[in-house]
Amino acid sequence: MTRPLARVPGVPSRQRAFRQGSSKRGVTCPYCFASVAPQRILFRCRGQAGRRQGCAPVLDEELAAYTGSAAGASLPPVFATSGRKGRASCPECGVPTGNRACPECHNPLPSAYCDSPGRIVALVGAKNAGKSTYIAVLLHELMNRVGTELDSSLVACDDRTIERYKRDFARPLLEERRLLPTTASAATGPREPLVYLLTRTRRGRFSRPRNDSLALVLFDTAGEDLRSREVTDLHLRYLEAADAIIFLVDPLELPGARTGVRDSVPAARPAHSPQALDPDSEPLNVIARVTDTLRQRHGTRPGEPLPVPVAVALTKIDALRPALLRQSALHRSRSGQGVLDLDDRDAVHEQVRALLHEWQAGQLDTYLGQHYADHALFGLSALGGVPEGERVGAGGVRPYRAEDPLLWLLHRFGMLDGVRPGGP
């Protein structure tokens, strides 16, 4: 007999505090991370199309400065208006428009993003932790299997995001099955976040369907750049703007984990490599630097936990010995469709916690507990198998639990119900 699912739609009080605490008065631009008061948001003329009269395209210098190129920066002009409505008429041609733009960098601000509080999710981790691979796979999952399950759409907010996702992530990794190159430091060239709007339609039993949106802003940080305390300006603003953090940890880098690793996996780094001596790349030191940055923004007192939820995920768990995962929560696939299974969540959290302690990395867990009001532990594999040389393993990319951290964050943001299959 199946028991009725215990639904937990309400947001726990701790989380409610977070939602209120982080309510920003303005909108944070997902491109330049400037905080923009609603009345300062610009509109962009819709321009000429077919028989519609409108302004001709002109070079937008702010946008060109942001992208570092004049290509694609010739657009109908932007204009300011005193009103706060979602639409305005162009003062030049009179055509009404609903296209909005950031007053600082002139990138498009989707109306769903302006109207609902945007959530910026920052993805961080040491060099080689698996960030770029994870971005490629997570976005693909959200556009396909997981998107269908959640009744959600994932839409790129600008053409450059579409182009870059294809060129730098999907084509090499998912189509050509080549491992992604090390991400170059932001110091060597301008880099842009990938900006998506994730919209979920929720059908309540007694209410009309409602759309909830989350701006998923993924900035593929180079692990290299998180090694020093002098984080680049864009990184700093990205972290300061973050409403949630996904922190990726390569278990093969944890001191005690090697015994739990399959023999077939080559050492993540030979003992004599300079990196092996580099304490700046230790997961704990990377998270500590990120935490210091967040503390400055939130102005919290030392000892007072930060309100930003942080999801900490062990990547590459396919490389762990099967014996370690057998009969464990991590070994099961996730249950639940379009909901977060809270029993499963607790079990995975506890198992990863136990693994961390077993691997002499218990400090990481202790540190998170001391500094964050809300942290959750995950184990995932973006590739689903150990790579062969420069290529994805023979079975192709078969992600495993890659979406878990995002589902938890959606639950935290009140966009996904939690259930306890075993009763409350």
Site for Zn ion in 105-164 (CB under 5 A): 105
132 binds Mg ion per the rule CB under 5 A = yes
Taking CA 111 as the corner, what is the angle to CA 109 and CA 116, rounded to the nearest 5 degrees? 105
The 289-328 site mask, x for binding ligand GTP (CB under 6 A), equals: --------------------------xx-xx---------
104 binds Zn ion per the rule CB under 5 A = yes
Q: Which of 27, 41, 42, 45 binds Zn ion (CB under 5 A)?
A: 45
Q: Identify the three-state secondary structure at position 122.
A: strand
Give 132 or 315: the residue with its C-beta nearer to Mg ion.
Answer: 132
381 binds ligand GTP per the rule CB under 6 A = yes
Phi and psi, residue 268, nearest 5°: -60, -35
Eight-state DSSP code of residue 372: B
**How far is it, in rounded angstroms, from Cα 232 to Cα 185?**
10
Q: Which of 41, 75, 78, 93 binds Zn ion (CB under 5 A)?
A: 93
386 binds ligand GTP per the rule CB under 6 A = yes
Question: In this chain, which stretch among 42-50, 179-187, 296-304, 395-403 interacts with Mg ion, using CB under 5 A?
Answer: 179-187
Furthest-apart CA atoms within the chain: distance in Å? 69
Q: CB 365: neighbour CB atoms within 10 A?
A: 19
Q: Give all strands of the β-sheet with 244-249 in edge-to-edge order.
A: 121-125, 244-249, 310-314, 375-379
Q: Which of 283, 336, 387, 418 binds ligand GTP (CB under 6 A)?
A: 387
Give 15 or 67: the residue with its C-beta nearer to Zn ion.
Answer: 67
Give 131 or 349: the residue with its C-beta nearer to ligand GTP.
Answer: 131
Q: Which does 92 bind (CB under 5 to 8 A by kind): ligand GTP, Zn ion, Mg ion, none?
A: Zn ion
182 binds ligand GTP per the rule CB under 6 A = yes
**How far is it, in rounded angstroms, from Cα 309 to Cα 245?**
6
- Min dist CB 92 to Zn ion, Å, is 4
The residues binding ligand GTP (CB under 6 A) are 125, 127-133, 179-180, 182-183, 222-223, 315-316, 318-319, 381-383, 386-387
